[in-house]
Structures are given as structure tokens and as C-alpha cells.
Amino acid sequence: MVAIEILTHGHRKLKKDFNCGKALLDSYLRIQASQDVKKKLSVCFVCVESETGKIQGYYTLSNNSIPIGAVPEGYKNQFPNSYRSIPTTLLGRLAVDARYQGLGVGKMLLIDALQRSYSISRSVGSFAVVVDPLDEEAESFYKKYGFILLPDSQKMFLPMRTLEILFDRK
């Protein structure tokens, strides 16, 4: 059994063991994430194994925006001319501990993050979920789930309208 919960002081010991194979993502959870949560810069959700308290994976969410120029051509005509940027939700980081990779944890965390982002967008407007993949491996993971590469950047997005169709389908 696992639970997905907000990172708190209670996770401080076990987050030190987290190792996904990407040093930047490991050190973010170990050192930076709690500070960011405290300062309200982002929220970090951890997937915790109920029996052991071990952290299997994590992701972070925050508000952000992208300039109109960064939006793919096919979407641009939806926005009034006066708009310089559009509100989005940033799925800043997502990682699974190497001991749990290949078991569906990444997929479960991604779906949880997308459901949460869609749910919040019903009260605070957001046009899309944006990710900023670290490398080609991460890019191919997000591509598998429908994320579209933004022109002239490494970032990718998934329109909230797509999530609405997915999650509101009866």
C-alpha cells in the first residue's frame, strides 16, 4: 500500500535515502524541497510506502506562466491579442527511486499530478500543465503521455482541455 502526501518534517529521515539516479533530482528532495514548501514556492508530494515509510517517488507543483510566443502555433489564435502570457501549472520535478522504477510508480505519480492540476484549474485558471524535462529520457516519458514540445524550448505542455476530456469523461 502507498499514500501520496505533502512533504513534511516527518519525512526528513527517509528522504535522505532517496536515489533516482539523477543527482539534481535527488538533492532537490533531500535539501531544497522542504524550504520551497515552507516558502510557498511549490508543493512537493511524496509517494510513501505505508509499511516502511520509504519514499518511492515525488513530484512538485506550482503556478507559473508561459509567454504567448512560446505557445505552439495551433493554440495561439485562442488568446486575445492583449495577452502577453498565459497561466499554466508547472509540474516542476517528478522522480522515482531506482529501487521502484519500472513498477508503475512514475505513471501513478504523473496521473495524480495531472488530476490534481486539473482539479485546481477548475477554481484557479490554468491553460496547461508544463514540464521542463531534464534530458531525452525524461522527454520521452512525457511524450508517451501526450505532452507536446513547446517551440524554441525544452519545455513541454499538456493542455488542460485535454485533461478535462480525460478526467470528466463519464
Site string for ligand COA, 114-143 (x = CB under 6 A): -------------------xx--xx-xx--
- Least distance (Å) between residue 104 CB and ligand COA: 4
- Least distance (Å) between residue 68 CB and ligand COA: 25
Q: Which of 11, 15, 93, 116 binds ligand COA (CB under 6 A)?
A: 93
Specify whether the CB–CB gap between 133 and 145 falls below 8 A.
no
Instruction: Give the span between the Cα atoms of 48 and 82, in whole angstroms.
Output: 45
Total residues at interface with ligand COA (CB under 6 A):
22
Instruction: Give the span between the Cα atoms of 30 and 58, in whole angstroms.
Output: 11
Q: Strands (DSSP E) along the chain, which ranges?
A: 2-6, 43-49, 55-67, 85-96, 128-131, 148-149, 156-159
Instruction: Give the span between the Cα atoms of 12 and 21, in whole angstroms.
Output: 20
First and final C-alpha spacing in the chain: 27
Question: Within positions 7 to 36, which residues make up the interface with ligand COA, using CB under 6 A?
Answer: 20-22, 25
- Least distance (Å) between residue 24 CB and ligand COA: 9
**Interface residues toward ligand COA, by CB under 6 A:** 20-22, 25, 93-96, 101-107, 133-134, 137-138, 140-141, 144
